[in-house]
């Protein structure tokens, strides 16, 4: 395992990439309305990243992925491919954005409700959001990756939901996916020790039903095996001397 410790200059580049990633999510949120297709959301985000930000959408052609963003609707857990699907009132959708700027990646995703979500969908989205934040709050030098997984798992399962185990967070920087893997379950005090200058994502996938998933024949789209709803939130974080800095906060959340 090779974990990169980012220099001060690299950290600043990561801040820029993270801020641009969040700006895309800020921009696209109001467009998530009934009747729009996931393909249209992809086109809007692609054009914004390329033409307005002067950046690169990392997913496009990454290991053959055909689009610039991921759109995961309802029981799609992750890696949903944008296309002709029209969003309908009551749907929930995760939009996952990764931007490359000056060679460095920012990675973040958010859940959006199309119109008013159902009661279970709203509870699930909130629990997944809060589980991510429970993981973020324990990040500090001298802590361990297991602390993150434990905090996420305890929150999600404590609210009656399940954690997907086949997919996880990851180191990030010059590479889209770097070491270490960041599991969203586990035991506190175990795993890699966190060090100042590490950058990685925390991105729990939380299911309303069982944790089990399956991969569709397109080789990308992951769905819940029992067809239950799934929700995910993601931030890129930097381990600092006193805790962590979240690099992908939206404009409304920034200090």
pLDDT single digits (tens) 52-88: 999 999 999 999 999 999 999 999 999 999 999 999 9
CATH of 8-246 among 3.90.230.10, 2.40.160.10, 3.40.50.1110, 1.10.390.10: 3.90.230.10
Confidence of residue 1 (pLDDT cuts 50, 70, 90): confident
pLDDT tens-digit map of 8-34: 999 999 999 999 999 999 999 999 999
Q: What is the pLDDT of residue 255?
A: 86
Question: In a 10 Å sphere around its CB, with 0-12 CB exposed, 13-18 middle and 19+ buried, how is residue 33 labelled?
Answer: exposed
Q: Which helix (H) or strand (E) holds 134?
A: helix 119-137
Beta bridge partners of 231: 206
Q: Is the CB of residue 128 less than 8 Å from the CB of residue 160?
A: no
Residues 192-217, mean pLDDT to the nearest whole number: 98
pLDDT at 48: 98
């Amino acid at each position: 395992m090779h974990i990169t410790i980012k220099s001060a200059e690299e950290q600043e580049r990561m801040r820029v990439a993270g801020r641009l990633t969040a700006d895309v999510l800020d921009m696209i949120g109001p467009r998530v309305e009934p009747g729009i297709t996931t393909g249209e959301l992809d086109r809007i985000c692609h054009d914004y990243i390329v033409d307005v930000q002067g950046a690169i959408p990392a997913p496009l052609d990454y290991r053959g992925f055909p689009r610039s963003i991921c759109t995961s609707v309802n029981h799609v857990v992750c890696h949903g491919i944008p296309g002709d699907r029209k969003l309908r009132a009551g749907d929930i959708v995760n939009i996952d954005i990764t931007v490359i700027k000056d060679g460095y990646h920012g990675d973040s995703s958010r859940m959006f409700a199309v119109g008013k979500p159902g009661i279970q969908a709203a509870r699930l989205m909130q629990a997944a959001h809060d589980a991510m934040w429970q993981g973020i709050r324990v990040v500090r030098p001298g802590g361990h990756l297991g602390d993150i997984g434990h905090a996420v798992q305890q929150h999600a399962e404590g609210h009656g939901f399940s954690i997907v185990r086949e997919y996880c967070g990851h180191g990030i920087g010059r590479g889209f996916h770097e070491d270490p893997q960041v599991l969203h379950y586990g035991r506190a005090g175990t795993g890699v020790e966190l060090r100042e200058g590490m950058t990685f994502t925390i991105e729990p996938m939380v299911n309303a039903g069982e944790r089990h998933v399956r991969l569709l024949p397109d080789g990308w789209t992951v769905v819940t095996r029992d067809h239950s709803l799934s929700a995910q939130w993601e931030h890129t974080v930097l381990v600092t001397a006193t805790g962590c800095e979240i690099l992908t906060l939206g404009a409304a959340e920034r200090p």
